[in-house]
Amino acid sequence: MPQNLLDFDLEGLTAWFTELGEKPFRAKQVFHWIHQSGVADFAQMTDIAKSLREKLQLHAVVQAPAISYAHTSNDGTRKWLFDVGVANGIETVFIPEDDRGTLCVSSQVGCALECTFCSTGRQGFNRNLSVAEIIGQLWVANRSLRGEVNRTASNHGAGEIAERPVSNVVMMGMGEPLANFENVVTALGVMLDDHAYGLSRRRVTVSTSGIVPAMDRLAERCPVALAVSLHAPNDALRDQIVPINRKYPLRELMAACRRYLVHAPRDFITFEYVMLAGVNDQPEHARQLIELTRDVPCKFNLIPFNPFPDSGYEKPRHDTLRAFREILQDAGYVVTTRKTRGDDIDAACGQLAGKVADKSGRVMKRMNQEAA
């Protein structure tokens, strides 16, 4: 079976080329063609010897997940559903802004962590994504978006635009990235590699619900910007809505955040906080957050809950959110409120569901509980 070259970082590709009897610099050439130029057809890699191109045609492919559909929101947000086999699909979202283009990348088919407010978690869990399926989301997005930009420029008489449209990557799509550690770290290495996408560590963010040992490993292996899905200021509440807290409670999580900052490219942790009306959005919750994070340099990203069917939660009132934010700001914290983008195509935070052939049995268990 041909080897999918999207599964390799540069070190892995060089080792594979060596097994083929090829010199290491050839791997670097092919790596450039794949990731910097977005080329999948070996015949188009014109500075490579014909004999090598023919060898690659026999032994290798460049194959990203196939697009099942692509939608564009009224605000310009793009969402792709990628087919990852056997009734499984993953979703990827591109958010264009004036100064950046951010791609939200998935790491698993579904999610096993069961955060109660997240549509992805309600779909159950099937499997981890491969390196090719993770980096393939970025590869496809750059190709698709660059093609659109170049067509627009051509229509206006401009030359081809070589820049890659994706300037920032956030591992905040479907799944818990640190539960698919090795594949995610390899994909991160490709994103950061100057011979591939050349993204800054400050422009690549991994979001985690708080798998403490994996946070420590990430700090050692590939320290990028870190976002922690916090969502509650005390263990009792977080145990209910973010069940991984029962294994790694807040005291351990805050200690892991402090350790991570020793290696991090930024001098703060971003705490993501989904605002759930009447659940975690009261003034006392804001004051508890201040006490909890007193020794952790951080900023808060408040996320108004994005509704999905049968979630059981509601979006907070605007004045409630404002009062919560002001308490944190008055205490000296930097606080942002995430603008809801792409909710008309279910591309907003917490709404990604894709298609999951659930192997965990959680969906059936929940249905039985609800029917009882």
What residues act catalytically? 91, 349
Instruction: State the Cα–Cα distance between residues 61 and 79, nearest whole angstrom.
Output: 25
Q: Dmax of the chain from CA atoms?
A: 69
Can you give the length of the chain in residues? 372
